[in-house]
Amino acid sequence: MESASVSARGGRQLFGRSPWTRLPDQILKWTLTVLAGGILVLIGFFFVRLYIEAHPAFARFGVFGFTFDNNWDVAKNIYGALPLVVGTIVTSAVALLIGVPVAIAAALYVTELCPHRLKGPLTILLDLLAAVPSVVYGLWGVFVLVPKLKPIEQWFTDTFSFIPFIGGAQVAGPNYFIGGLILAIMILPIVSAISREVMSTVPSDHKEAALALGATRWEMVQRVVIPFARSGIFGSIFLALARALGETMAVTMVIGNRPEIAASLFAPAYTMPAVLANEFAEATSDLYLSALMEIGLVLLVITIIVNGIARLMIASVGARGEGSS
């Protein structure tokens, strides 16, 4: 029995490993655990530090008073962040409405309809959109989009003046819509790349079975590919939303930087990242600096909530998919 548990070379056990041979595995395990825990500690440090720095503004205006007050007046030391929150949400919503359908359509075309020799070049072109610096998008928006789209926006708002939040405004140039359009182009490679990777994992026998049963290619995509990739698509959308909420430079250059809730989609506005980029260096008083820190804290909380909702939606979609299968 003893000879069966020992190998012929150096007396090493066949059915066990010495503690020294397991040491690298344990070191790797604890190293990765510490690094993963360090991320949570870092996020907690950000939150605590921002809260400490924002405490004077909290004490002056309160949490709800600061977040939901529609008055940002630096000259009078009055800081209400509602126009900034609304600007951030509106531009992000416009970006999702424009960018997500285009990105998913591009992913479907590349994975299911595109000729094989064109897949590589199209994929590279889509991914290259993520490599363009945000300041370049901002310059393109200032010198191309704003002047070119201004007449179209004015015609649209005049023609559909009966629609709330769209009609009845004099288009000045920078506005919600231009900011959302820039963001839509910037989030397109994120949604497209993740959706494309998820769609490529759909088992080929599932697609072939649907086609063999008489389904058209669109019916195969609708009933096989999209349900299989649904959770991944939802995940890509919320990752794109997180990117849109935090984008700074490009939106700052095309949004107009006016701290008020505009009555039209084509009116100037402001966002939380934009106000931090524009005014942080100019914050001379302690209350002003504390208000900017509180904006950073509100933005962090919104991002955490969005990611939490994303995880819940992905989990629920996955659970429904497993239940239906």
| pLDDT per residue as tens digits for the range 83-104 | 999 999 999 999 999 999 999 9
Structural Rg of the chain based on CA atoms: 26
Question: Model confidence at 316, in pLDDT bands (50, 70, 90)?
Answer: low
Residue 324 backbone phi and psi in degrees, to 5: -70, -30
pLDDT (tens digit per residue) in 163-212 = 888 876 788 889 999 999 999 999 999 999 988 988 888 888 888 898 88
Q: Which two tokens mark 220?
A: 């195969």
Question: Model confidence at 236, in pLDDT bands (50, 70, 90)?
Answer: confident
How confident is the model over 158-164, as a mean pLDDT?
A: 85
How confident is the model over 141-153, as a mean pLDDT?
A: 93
* Residues 241 and 92: beta-carbon distance below 8 Å: yes
Calpha distance 84→91 (Å, rounded):
11
Is the pLDDT at 325 greater than 60, yes or no? no
Question: Model confidence at 321, in pLDDT bands (50, 70, 90)?
Answer: low
Torsion of CA 257, 262, 268, 273, to 10 degrees: 40
pLDDT score of 6: 47
pLDDT score of 1: 45
Query: Average pLDDT of the chain?
Result: 85
pLDDT score of 4: 45
Please give the DSSP secondary-structure letter assigned to residue 221.
I
Has domain 59-324 been given CATH number 1.10.3720.10? yes
* Residues 187 and 244: beta-carbon distance below 8 Å: yes
How confident is the model over 126-153, as a mean pLDDT?
A: 91
Q: Find the length of the chain.
A: 325
pLDDT score of 301: 87
Among residues 283, 253, 280, 281, the alpha carbon closest in space to that of 268 is found at: 253
Residues 6+ apart with CB under 8 A from 307: 238, 242
Among residues 112, 58, 102, 47, the alpha carbon closest in space to that of 81 is found at: 58
How confident is the model over 114-121, as a mean pLDDT?
A: 86
pLDDT (tens digit per residue) in 19-65 = 777 788 888 889 999 999 999 899 899 899 999 999 898 888 888 88
pLDDT (tens digit per residue) in 292-315 = 999 999 888 888 888 777 777 666
